[in-house]
Structure 1
Amino acid sequence: MVVMPNRRPGEIPDLPPLPPYAGVSVPLVRALPTLTPAARMGVIAAAEKHMKVNANGRWVDFDRNVTPYMNEPADMTASRRYREVIFVGPARAGKTVMLLSTVSHIVLCNPCVCRIVHMTESSGEAWVDEELKPMIENSPDLAERQGTGRSDRNILSKKFIGGAKIIIGAPTKNFLSGNTTQVVLFTDIDRMKLNIGNEGSPFAMGAKRTETLGSRGMTVAEASPGYMVTEVDWKPSTPHEAPPCSGILELYNGGTRARWYWDCPECGEAFEPHTDKLHYDKSLSPAEAGEAAVMLCPHNGCWITHDQKVDLNRKGYWLHETAEGGLARIDSGEVRKSERVSYHLNGAAAAFASWARIVSKYETAKRAVDAGGDEETLKVVVNTDMGLAYVPRALSTEGDLTLKALKRMCRPFAHKVAPEWARFLIASADVQGNRFVVQITAFGLDGRKLIIDRFDLFKPPHDAPLAKGRVLEPHKYIEDWDVLLPVLRTPYPVDGQEYGLIPMAMACDFHGKPGVSDRATQFWQDRRAEGEADRWFFVRGHGGYRVSGRVWYKAPERKSDGGQARDIKLLNIATDKLKDTVFSALDREDGGPGSLMLGDWMPEDPLKEFTAERWTEKGYEKLQPRNESIDLSSYAQAAAEHKGLLRLDPADPHDWARGGLSNPFAVPMSEGSEPEPVEGPVRPVKKAPRKISFLE
């Protein structure tokens, strides 16, 4: 726009010269790619010719030999024979480069509209900033094609000369509905919801967008497995069938079911490189075991070292299932009929993951679970490092957890006697309508535990209102809660020793009939006034596996009805994770670290309560109403972890975990004495502060 200067009437303005005429050749040259026929070139060939990749901070030409197992799946994303491509694999396998090479091919060889679906819009923006945008800017052929208009370079929308358009978004109903799209790419689909707005799975909704384009439409999904196996007795019916679980593996099972194969460099026999073929000494530390890990050929036991992996991958190949139950290559004409081609890569073959690292991480996580820790870290290792679905220990235990099996597991431990390895006791209580159900659990330094007592409290204290002739009513009378006080004053003899242990703490259910939470709050406030708040814990459970953390101690922000929060600190627990630990501990029948042992004195009913729940992918499902043994054991584990069980140093344990009378919860007691409450409240002996506190 030319701004006219101020002038007097009749004065001729001194105007700046007009810009030169634009030549028609400029827009024509820029429009020529639109008129150019699509290049007939495969995805990998196009990536080698046009795409640059980031190699440790340097932008270099794409090399198909870096992740050879991605070549066939990437080429299939431009296939006219298949309409869906599924790739299951571990992290650091090159899945992102497969998506980028597909984008490169769309821009230069197959201009169309492509939707890339991320877990969230923010994760999509991060992926564009960190992966897509740098790749385009550092690949001259792609950068030259990118549009220069204001709307061509939005963070979630990229337009290119020639007609290609890349749109990035989240798995929402709006993003996956209403628009015809030639290519839809899902990244990390197992971290998305299984059902979008009650319209169905994100993959099914995405595939619908490509349906009207016939063989030109393509829907692609990649992920590491994120859902757990749901059937413990499952056995594969075909060579490459994946276990039954939701998400990416369910999609994989509906396709051609390919696995990656090597030919053994010694005997020449074909086999799938798999983490279950890694051989190492389990008695070594995780790091030492990982450094010494080798792979054994399943045919003749030939040893294969990690430095051979690069060469074996370059010679490797995919084998798909055939209709007759055999295996064949993709171009053989024998692959089972399906519109979906599917691939599953094990972490042992992943280019950027070392066997030493996989073994070290797996053994570290597994040993932590064996010691009573959370399974979440082990699940992540199995999913993202190995590329496999995780089988929760509760599921494998539940399959055999019958009353008969539990009776077989019981050992000849004395009733009401702590084993010689016991260092502290935890009492746990479940609130029922007319009683408290109480369990006493002995813990060792290594997390092993033994239930040493179990009883019900029915009778109210003699000085409670209307005590004569009624049973306990914890929801109504605060006085009834006083029956719990003797529990934390009752010592249990330690086997072979001349002292006994008083329970260090009690973990009690915070919920029950209307009124229970109010009475529990008042009872805890009374204990706080007595200086015993660090021994009485009221438990609030949080179901599901998406709960962050396992055990945390804090005051509630609000009451359940939205009113003002109660004046109490609650021991919050991730219920399903703690139950996983309980069932995993029961499954360890050798009595080693982290195990939960049962005495043969236990009546049938408490044993049967351990069979009252069944693990499902969404959490635990009740099979029968009486499940107190599961809850009480979970509460005891939670209280022990809160006190510092998982952080104990056996060489220098906290005072409450020491053996002998130096333990503040130990009292002189002759062997064989019957547990009887001691007089007055018992509190830990105050000692000099330590550098590291295990109390909180």
Structure 2
Amino acid sequence: MATHATARSIRNDVAMMLRPPRRILVSDGARALRVNAGTGSGNPWDASTTPYMVKPLNATSSRLHEAVVFVGPARSGKTLALIEGCLAHTITCDPADVMVIQSTKDAAEDYSKTRISRGIRGSPELLKQLSPRAHDDNVLMKFFRSGMSLRLGWPSLSVLSGKDVKRVLMTDVDNFTGDLGIDEAFGLAMKRCQTFMSGGIVVAESSPATDYVDGQWRQSAERPHEAPPAGGIASLYNRGDRHRWYWPCMECGEYFQASPGYELFKLPLERELLERVQVDDMLTMSRRLSIVYCPHCHVGLKDRWKDAMNLRGDWVGEGQVIHRDGTIDGDVIESRTTSYYLGGVAAAFQSWESLIERYLQALKVYAKTGEEKPLKTTYNVDAALNYVPMAARSESNPTAMQDRAETWTSGSVPPGVHFLTATVDGQKNRFVVQVMGWGPGASGTLERCIVDSFSLRTSERPDGAGGFLGLEPAKYLEDWERLVPKVIQRRYPLDDGSGRTMPVRAVGIDWGGAEGHAARALEFWRSLKERGLHWRVRLVKGRGGKVDYLWKETKPDSSKRKDRNSGSRGDVPQLLINVDRMKDQVAANVAREEPGPGYYRFGDWLPTAFYEELTAETRTSKGWENLGKRRNEAFDLAVYNETLALWIKAPAINWSNPPAWAAGWDTNPDVVKGDEPPPPAPAPVRSRRPRVVPSRYLRR
């Protein structure tokens, strides 16, 4: 017999549609959800299990933000809270149309059957709100007595178009494989909620799954909460106010960041671990290494204290500071997106020993087979960190280089430098200059020293307003004249207060670059020859691919070639460089931490950007590549300086009896008081062939 609705049930259903929302925290409304309801042992969602989810969950009802972004490890309870907990609050407290977006259509159907349907039917308060009509309860669409609808979909234009919903809840966004990428899907989701103005909200949560190739990226002291420069959820997080989870040390009480990755464990270097995992026992290693060290008191903390630390933890936004008593000061970044990033070390459902063991197992697979997928997986889902492929990594650490910087006066020659070289990189609107000093180190071997690094940006062409126009080297030959006083004829004061100065012994100028740059470089060198300044200057150019030399001096002539118009006529000497081999040499030298052959000395006045440029490139199977598309002038100019040193035969100098121009300050004729004229050009060395006397003049 068919059952019919009674007047009472109809009246109750209509009343639910008119009932005002219950003004309670979302985290309180989420208690209507029974966790593990499908197993028959469901308990109300408990905030104390994952206390780090309370604040992000409550933010889903914020009128100040239009989006909530959460990055965290797998098995941290993020989906349970932000998707199902938010949905439970919506159903019982603030009914409104909701859309849940999964990574694929199959994933959406599976999520509906195994999580949503089970959660609703296992939670009495939610089941009571479900529409009793059978056709209102489908896999991808559900209706409730209040009139609200729940749609489940995937990142497709048809799913995310033409609908008005108050809340769009997006899960596992870094694994979206539909018609839309995460940025497009996120933008369309924002449009779906726009009708509801400040009442609408978009939630996006995921473990990071996108790689990034800038192996030299480091978190800066100015932005300690910034995520790596990867796409996907990390990019969405960086748009927001960037909250990180801080918890207190159980020993000293100071708060520190539960940062993503493995930094807090103070593990040995990865290259050392790659050797150890092949011979050591995994369980023993993981048990011994699974200790978090407080960055304040450096005491080792064990996993059994994690729950207590989480209960006392709090979210701190970019620009804020948390004190020992738990109070937070400072102003968070103003953004319409509130974002949160939880490190894998704080995940409630994974022990530290398990976290380290999975990492070591993945390293073992890589050490034996070269397969990186297990390593990428454990970085993403366990440590909650975007992965940098091994090919994109570099052993050079700009921070370590900066830490060993010495103190001497900026723009002066420090003790130990016997002669100078300078190199110039021509850009569209500037010249970038690097001056390097050379001399014997304590071991009597050739060491390097960065003496100066600067850019020339203005010409001597008047702008009509009392100033000067910007440089345009590819257009104006007169702009190159700036290099004569600023580089070629420049003298640097010694850092001893004596008033003596040292000239630049050799100058290398890059003649590649924008169209017209090469022709101007050739013209400039010819003008230097007319003035007798050419002997110390060479044009330099890198050659990629497989070449059979490290460097060579040549005088190319393209005057008879119709496919080239560089201006070469066989009269301008140029240094051609095997860039990959020379960069191998420079990279090894700058990475050297102790004085000795090839060691680089840095002044403490050099900016952080200089070290980042020096380590911007990565050695791959194709050669040296700038994978992160960062500025790399310091690296290129160091290569040119190394080539100049080879050109003037600096590595062959006998420091017990050096040539006069490489002698110490007191005996070097180039080191003079004040700005005296530069030393004269050396007399050219001409090879003489034996004179052959005609036989008729020989005595018989």
TM range (shorter): 0.5 to 0.7
- How far apart, in 2, do the equivalents of 1:203 and 1:114 lie? 15
- How far apart, in 2, do the equivalents of 1:135 and 1:327 lie? 37
- How far apart, in 2, do the equivalents of 1:128 and 1:42 lie? 25
- How far apart, in 2, do the equivalents of 1:200 and 1:238 lie? 23
**Aligned pair in 2 of structure 1 residues 152, 21: CA closer, same or farther (>3 Å)?**
closer
The residue aligned with 1:511 is none
Moved over 6 A (4+): 19-22, 327-333
| Secondary structure, counterpart of 1:77 in structure 2 | helix
How far did residue 355 of structure 1 move?
A: 0.8
The residue aligned with 1:287 is 283
The residue aligned with 1:30 is 13
The residue aligned with 2:666 is none
The residue aligned with 2:378 is 381
How many equivalent pairs are there? 394
Are residues 1:242 and 2:227 paired?
yes
How far did residue 396 of structure 1 move?
A: 1.3
- How far apart, in 1, do the equivalents of 2:98 and 2:152 lie? 9
**Cα RMSD for the two superposed structures:** 3.1
How far did residue 313 of structure 1 move?
A: 0.8
Are residues 1:215 and 2:198 paired?
yes
The residue aligned with 1:158 is 142
**Aligned pair in 2 of structure 1 residues 213, 287: CA closer, same or farther (>3 Å)?**
same
- How far apart, in 2, do the equivalents of 1:187 and 1:387 lie? 15
- How far apart, in 1, do the equivalents of 2:149 and 2:379 lie? 37
Matching of residues 198-597 of structure 1 within 5 Å:
201-235=184-218, 236=220, 237-274=222-259, 275-279=262-266, 283=276, 284-292=280-288, 293-322=290-319, 334-397=331-394
The residue aligned with 1:102 is 86
Partner amino acid for 1:190?
D
How far did residue 133 of structure 1 move?
A: 0.8
How far did residue 251 of structure 1 move?
A: 0.4
Q: Which of 18, 22, 35 is the aligned partner of 1:53?
A: 35
| Secondary structure, counterpart of 2:134 in structure 1 | coil
The residue aligned with 2:175 is 191
Q: Work out whether residues 114 and 182 of structure 1, in 8 Å CA contact, stay in contact via their aligned partners in 2.
A: yes
Partner amino acid for 2:160?
L
- How far apart, in 2, do the equivalents of 1:240 and 1:271 lie? 12
| Secondary structure, counterpart of 1:225 in structure 2 | coil
Matching of residues 105-120 of structure 1 within 5 Å:
105-120=89-104
- How far apart, in 2, do the equivalents of 1:171 and 1:133 lie? 21
Q: Work out whether residues 232 and 399 of structure 1, in 8 Å CA contact, stay in contact via their aligned partners in 2.
A: no
Partner amino acid for 2:204?
A
**Aligned pair in 2 of structure 1 residues 266, 333: CA closer, same or farther (>3 Å)?**
closer
Partner amino acid for 1:291?
R
**Aligned pair in 2 of structure 1 residues 161, 363: CA closer, same or farther (>3 Å)?**
same
Partner amino acid for 2:75?
R
Q: Work out whether residues 187 and 222 of structure 1, in 8 Å CA contact, stay in contact via their aligned partners in 2.
A: yes
How far did residue 207 of structure 1 move?
A: 1.1
**Aligned pair in 2 of structure 1 residues 399, 152: CA closer, same or farther (>3 Å)?**
farther
Partner amino acid for 2:243?
A
Partner amino acid for 1:232?
G
| Secondary structure, counterpart of 1:41 in structure 2 | coil
**Aligned pair in 2 of structure 1 residues 372, 151: CA closer, same or farther (>3 Å)?**
same
| Secondary structure, counterpart of 1:356 in structure 2 | helix
Partner amino acid for 2:384?
G
How far did residue 155 of structure 1 move?
A: 0.6
- How far apart, in 1, do the equivalents of 2:185 and 2:620 lie? 42
Are residues 1:130 and 2:126 paired?
no
| Secondary structure, counterpart of 1:262 in structure 2 | strand
Q: Which of 171, 177, 198 is the aligned partner of 2:155?
A: 171
Q: Which of 37, 41, 56 is the aligned partner of 1:73?
A: 56
- How far apart, in 2, do the equivalents of 1:136 and 1:66 lie? 21
**Aligned pair in 2 of structure 1 residues 261, 326: CA closer, same or farther (>3 Å)?**
closer
The residue aligned with 2:75 is 92
**Aligned pair in 2 of structure 1 residues 56, 39: CA closer, same or farther (>3 Å)?**
closer
**Which deviates more from structure 2 when the two are superposed, residues 232-241 or residues 166-175?**
232-241
How far did residue 609 of structure 1 move?
A: 7.4
The residue aligned with 2:130 is 146
What's the CA shift string for 1:300-357, capped at 9, x where partnerless? 11121101111111111111113xx756999978322111010000100000011111
How far did residue 30 of structure 1 move?
A: 3.0
- How far apart, in 2, do the equivalents of 1:79 and 1:180 lie? 19
**Aligned pair in 2 of structure 1 residues 358, 131: CA closer, same or farther (>3 Å)?**
same
Matching of residues 608-687 of structure 1 within 5 Å:
610-611=622-623
| Secondary structure, counterpart of 2:135 in structure 1 | coil
How far did residue 358 of structure 1 move?
A: 1.0
Q: Work out whether residues 114 and 167 of structure 1, in 8 Å CA contact, stay in contact via their aligned partners in 2.
A: yes
What's the CA shift string for 1:85-115, capped at 9, x where partnerless? 0000010000121110100011111111111
The residue aligned with 2:105 is 121
TM-score (norm 2): 0.53
- How far apart, in 1, do the equivalents of 2:384 and 2:370 lie? 22
Unaligned runs of 5+ in 1: 2-18, 401-582, 588-606, 618-696
| Secondary structure, counterpart of 2:15 in structure 1 | helix
Unaligned runs of 5+ in 2: 398-583, 589-618, 630-700
What's the CA shift string for 1:541-577, capped at 9, x where partnerless? xxxxxxxxxxxxxxxxxxxxxxxxxxxxxxxxxxxxx
- How far apart, in 2, do the equivalents of 1:73 and 1:100 lie? 13
| Secondary structure, counterpart of 2:43 in structure 1 | strand
The residue aligned with 1:482 is none
**Aligned pair in 2 of structure 1 residues 609, 42: CA closer, same or farther (>3 Å)?**
closer
The residue aligned with 1:592 is none
**Aligned pair in 2 of structure 1 residues 34, 361: CA closer, same or farther (>3 Å)?**
same
- How far apart, in 2, do the equivalents of 1:320 and 1:299 lie? 20
The residue aligned with 1:491 is none
**Aligned pair in 2 of structure 1 residues 609, 251: CA closer, same or farther (>3 Å)?**
closer
**Aligned pair in 2 of structure 1 residues 80, 331: CA closer, same or farther (>3 Å)?**
farther
How far did residue 365 of structure 1 move?
A: 1.0
What's the CA shift string for 1:146-182, capped at 9, x where partnerless? 0022331001111111122110011000111111211
| Secondary structure, counterpart of 1:127 in structure 2 | helix
Q: Work out whether residues 21 and 95 of structure 2, in 8 Å CA contact, stay in contact via their aligned partners in 1.
A: yes
**Which deviates more from structure 2 when the two are superposed, residues 76-85 or residues 225-234?**
225-234
- How far apart, in 1, do the equivalents of 2:393 and 2:368 lie? 18
